[in-house]
Amino acid sequence: MAVVHSSTTLPATLSWYCSLFFLIMLVLSCCDQSFDTENETMLKRVYTFDASYGPCDEIYVVREGETLHTISEKCGDPYIIEENPHIHDPDDVFPGLVIKITPFNNK
């Protein structure tokens, strides 16, 4: 015995599946957006400067508005370029860049 679909039930079923698909996509897009917001908050906590650790640690994360010159003055390290071979262009310093700091002591 062959099953024959009515011409009215197929479009209704297809419409139902499309609606369900778009509803699932909407829910997933909301979850993905909240996950990104949580990640941004976590990164802000990691890269936030805390004065209790001192002005410069051995590993330094560049903040917005900083240049290698200002970091060098602040941390007392005139050899930042030599110690960080991953910096190819001293003018191409961006927030979030991780650099090694070795304070220079004049004794």
Per 3-state DSSP, the chain is made up of helix, strand and coil in percentages (nearest 5) of: 50, 5, 45
> In terms of C-beta density within 10 A (0-12 exposed, 13-18 middle, 19 or more buried), how is residue 14 classed?
exposed
Kindly tell me if the per-residue pLDDT of 95 is higher than 70. Answer: yes
Question: Average of pLDDT values for 13-41?
Answer: 70
User: Model-level pTM greater than 0.75?
Assistant: no
Each residue's pLDDT tens digit, 49-89: 444 334 688 999 999 999 999 998 898 888 899 999 999 98
| CATH classification code of 53-100 | 3.10.350.10
What confidence score (pLDDT) does residue 4 get?
59
Task: Report d(CA 100, CA 57) in Å as an integer.
Answer: 8
Local confidence band at 15 (pLDDT 50, 70, 90 cut-offs): confident
